[in-house]
Amino acid sequence: MSKPTVFITGAAAGIGRATALRFAKEDYLVGIYDIDERKLRELRDEILAAGGNVYAGLLNVANPDLWAEALADFYRAHGRLDILINNAGVLSAGKFEEMDVAVHRRMLDINIGGVIYGTRAAFPYLRDTAGSQVVNLCSASAIYGQPELATYGATKSAVKGLTEALDLEWRKHDIRVIAMWPLFVQTGMVEGIETGSTRSLGVRLTAADVGNSIWQVTRKKTLLPTVHFEVGIQAKALAIAAKYAPDWVVRTTNRILTRTW
């Protein structure tokens, strides 16, 4: 199979859907995986109607056994895994102590557990595909811990650390591991979410903005290895401030933005 492949989780809607459409447009064979069968079918039909190549499957990323089955099936069918995009994620907002333990656990299981299980299961297929890449979806809300998004931000901070470690650990296998850092994106994930930071910063990015950025970053060959890629002006500004400003300035800025005076 000479056509490059991409395996995308959480592909039925939002960022995953936009990313799948962009890669299909660029003549990739696109593996779309999600728990929403109806929306997966609609996306598959849209890609096929546009002349693209697609392979669809159901996948609950919180289940490591299902990950192993899905990836083995995908690789068996296509013989390569050029890019794994760990996009599937959930967001719940509210006062930390008032959120049910099950809500915290769901974010942990999907946002970080799913990334660990999937990336581990994908390793032999990535290793055996020259120049392969892993793209993890982080969040600019994790640059500094956000009130009302404590556990969500913690899961994305964990993804950050995992990405950095694996980019170093897997370099010898010619596997590039990178993280995308959008702020709030106009998708179903933020519907009904209202926090101090969403009120201050708004929801300015579209799913297509992020999908296009993922496409561009996976094309980019930088002189120096780069792991983290912010999406949008707001995320870039927050990342620069967090990197160069004194800690007390960063903390004060976040208190203002999140309206926690």
Count the neighbouring beta carbons within 10 Å of the beta carbon of residue 132. 24
Q: What is the dihedral of CA 201, 8, 28, 183, to 10 degrees?
A: 10
Q: Which amino acid is at 219?
A: R
Q: What is the dihedral of CA 179, 17, 183, 174, to 10 degrees?
A: 10
Active site residue 152: yes
Q: Which amino acid is at 168?
A: L
For 221-243, b where at least 16 C-beta lie within 10 A, e where not — what string?
eeeeeeeebbbbebbeebbeebe
Identify the bridge partners of residue 86 per DSSP, sorted by sequence position: 136
CA angle 135, 137, 138 (to 5 degrees): 125
Q: What are phi and psi of 56, to 5 degrees?
A: -115, 150
Q: Pick the catalytic residue: 28, 117, 125, 152?
A: 152
Q: Measured between alpha carbons, how far is 22 from 7 in angstroms, rounded to an integer?
A: 13
DSSP state of 56: E
Q: Measured between alpha carbons, how far is 187 from 231 in angstroms, rounded to an integer?
A: 15
Q: What CA–CA distances, in Å, run from 81 to 92, 110, 119, 167, 217?
A: 32, 22, 12, 17, 17
CB 3 within 8 A of CB 29: yes
Catalytic residues: 152
